[in-house]
Amino acid sequence: MLLALLTALSTLVVVGPAHAATAPCSPDDATACLNVTVTVPGTGPAAGVGLTVEGEGEPVQATTDDAGKASVALTAAGDYTVTVDEATLPAGTTLKDPAANPATVTVALGRAAGRIVQLLPPGAEAGAEATPTDDAGATATPEDADAAAGDAEAGAEAESSAEASAAPGTNRYAQLLLAGTVFGLLLALAALGANLIYGTTGLSNFAHGELVTLGGMVAFLAVQRAHLPLWLAIVLATAAGALLGWFLNRFLFRPLRRRGVGITQQMIVTIGLSLALVSAYLFFFSAQPKPVVSAISQRMQLGPVQISAQSLVSVGIAVVVLTLVAFVLARTRMGRATRAVSDNPALAAATGIRVESVISRVWVVSAALASLGGVLLSLYLNTTRFNFGSTLLLLMFAAITLGGLGSPLGAVIGALVIGLVVELSTIVLPNDMRYASALVILILVLLVRPQGILGRAERIG
């Protein structure tokens, strides 16, 4: 059923023809622009170089103008192959990186993407790498470069958000505090579900990260392929997560519990499920980063910090949902039953509580929260990919353990601590080590308080 669902979603592809632009391309909701610049460093642009763009629709031929630029308008998002005709290069010049010809560039409707092709003058040696660009010639970030060159790796970390960058007019430390708080709240939304499952069943679900990935991927298909509004994509992604959560509990983990399969064996099943889902995502969506939205959200100045309207809305959604979950757990009959099952399932069953019904609802709600968190994290980090949730899984487990296993409020507090540590650590550490710093903090805290911040101490032995 899962593969059938993914297959149905992957068929929501809108294919349109591509055509060469006779004038500078302007991206809009129905058009993407692929800009290629061919230049000889130290000499200038290379005019008259032939290019072939292949992807959706028929191949397109283009030729660089006197500024060394060629612009192609595309009416379908996707991956396009750019091939430079070496026979048309200026006399004596060669490609600086022959191995990168042809190159794959990922384009999205409403956005300009591109590539800079560098040539070497006569007598120079090849070997340096060409530079991808984004948005009409500006040098791309490392994340955009990965997308444009098509070399995203399976184990690559999730991209950094724009909120963590200190733009002119902002205070760097205040900006990082804001970025850490935003990241922590969104991470809490994704981690809360895993903590609820652990609290009611004792199971550490290693496939929880793939539920996060599902939310981002469904939102990507809904917005970029089916051209649905973002709010509807968020609703569909949350519903897809809830459906998958119900399916996994009904047809996999509930039978395992009835057969008396131990928690350790169930945990191994979740590891296998995680690997299967990652492989399915890779098969259907490839390794390329997938932006949920193409447009760049306008950033607003709030005192010494800046925040995008998109991130502000995401934080608002996260706060509302977290508050609603807290209210349900504290004030409703379902919440009291959930807490009773978490404390003592046997005693809860003896008092008339239907334990399996409570666990089924917890799976549905937890998976829905994970998928919703996946959408909001994808918007915050500007992309999603097939291993998006797997990359964040250790951070979610760190937040749960730090806050206290089985404590929903602890998961939120732990996620906020992890988010702040992740962003603030970039002051003294390279950006690539920011996730590792959060795990170091986890180890140090557990050495002092093994049960976590809000966890209950338990006697062992």
Question: Residues 146-175: pLDDT tens digits?
Answer: 333 333 333 333 355 667 766 667 788 999
Least confident of 158-167, 251-260, 416-425: 158-167
* Residue 29 counted as domain residue: yes
Query: What are the structure tokens assigned to 267, written together?
Result: 């945990």
* Residue 8 counted as domain residue: no
pLDDT in the model for residue 146:
37
Residue 196, CA distances (Å) to 189, 190, 339 in order:
11, 11, 10
Taking 50 as the threshold, does the pLDDT of residue 424 lie above it?
A: yes
Cβ(74)–Cβ(110) below 8 Å:
no
Mean pLDDT, rounded, for 48-75: 88
Same domain, 69 and 168: no
Taking 80 as the threshold, does the pLDDT of residue 42 lie above it?
A: no
Q: CATH number of the domain that 273 lies in?
A: 1.10.3470
Contacts of 342 (CB under 8 A, 6+ apart): 199, 200, 406
Interatomic CA distance for residues 74 and 60, integer angstroms: 10
User: What are the two backbone dihedrals, phi and then psi, of residue 217, each rounded to the nearest 5 degrees?
Assistant: -70, -40
Number of residues that this document lists for the chain: 461
CA atoms within 13 A on the CB side of 399: 33
Structural domain that includes position 204: 162-448
Same domain, 80 and 176: no
- Over residues 119-129, the pLDDT tens digits come to 887 766 544 43
Residue after which a domain boundary falls, among 98, 116, 149: 149
DSSP code per residue over 159-190: PPPGGGS--TTS-HHHHHHHHHHHHHHHHHHH
Same domain, 58 and 166: no
pLDDT in the model for residue 300:
85
Q: Which residue has the higher pLDDT, 169 or 417?
A: 417
Same domain, 111 and 178: no
pLDDT in the model for residue 23:
59
pLDDT in the model for residue 357:
95
- Over residues 281-311, the pLDDT tens digits come to 999 998 888 889 876 667 788 888 888 888 8
Same domain, 91 and 25: yes
Taking 70 as the threshold, does the pLDDT of residue 4 lie above it?
A: no
Query: What are the structure tokens assigned to 42, written together?
Result: 């130290």
pLDDT in the model for residue 356:
95
Same domain, 173 and 114: no
Same domain, 442 and 416: yes
Taking 90 as the threshold, does the pLDDT of residue 383 lie above it?
A: no
Count of other CB atoms within 10 angstroms of residue 18: 23
Same domain, 169 and 246: yes
pLDDT in the model for residue 237:
97
Residue 195, CA distances (Å) to 133, 334, 336, 362, 376 in order:
41, 17, 16, 10, 19
Interatomic CA distance for residues 12 and 189, integer angstroms: 28
pTM score, whole prediction: 0.68
* Residue 1 counted as domain residue: no
Number of domains in the chain: 2
Residue after which a domain boundary falls, among 149, 183, 201: 149
* Residue 461 counted as domain residue: no
Please give the DSSP secondary-structure letter assigned to residue 88: G
- Over residues 179-229, the pLDDT tens digits come to 999 999 999 999 999 999 999 999 999 999 999 999 999 999 999 899 999
Interatomic CA distance for residues 113 and 126, integer angstroms: 25
* Residue 455 counted as domain residue: no
Mean pLDDT, rounded, for 373-397: 91
Of residues 395, 366, 367, 372, the one with CA closest to residue 313: 372
pLDDT in the model for residue 458:
61
Phi-psi sector, 103: left (phi>0), alpha (psi -120 to 50), beta: beta
Q: CATH number of the domain that 50 lies in?
A: 2.60.40.10
Q: Mean pLDDT score of the chain, rounded to an integer? A: 82
Cα diameter, the chain:
87
* Residue 459 counted as domain residue: no
* Residue 400 counted as domain residue: yes
Same domain, 144 and 211: no
Interatomic CA distance for residues 425 and 428, integer angstroms: 6
Residue after which a domain boundary falls, among 127, 149, 171: 149
* Residue 185 counted as domain residue: yes
Helix (H) or strand (E) holding 438: helix 434-448
Residue 183, CA distances (Å) to 207, 314, 341, 376 in order:
21, 10, 31, 10
Same domain, 71 and 191: no
Residue with tokens 């760049």: 296
CA atoms within 13 A on the CB side of 400: 25
Same domain, 109 and 141: yes
Interatomic CA distance for residues 294 and 314, integer angstroms: 17
Same domain, 278 and 378: yes
Count of other CB atoms within 10 angstroms of residue 189: 29
pLDDT band at 395 (very low <50, low <70, confident <90, very high): very high
Instruction: Give pairs for 41-49: CB < 8 Å, separation 24+.
Output: 41/118, 42/121, 43/121, 44/68, 45/69, 46/89, 46/90, 46/93, 46/119, 48/88, 48/90, 49/84, 49/85, 49/88, 49/89, 49/90, 49/117
pLDDT in the model for residue 258:
94
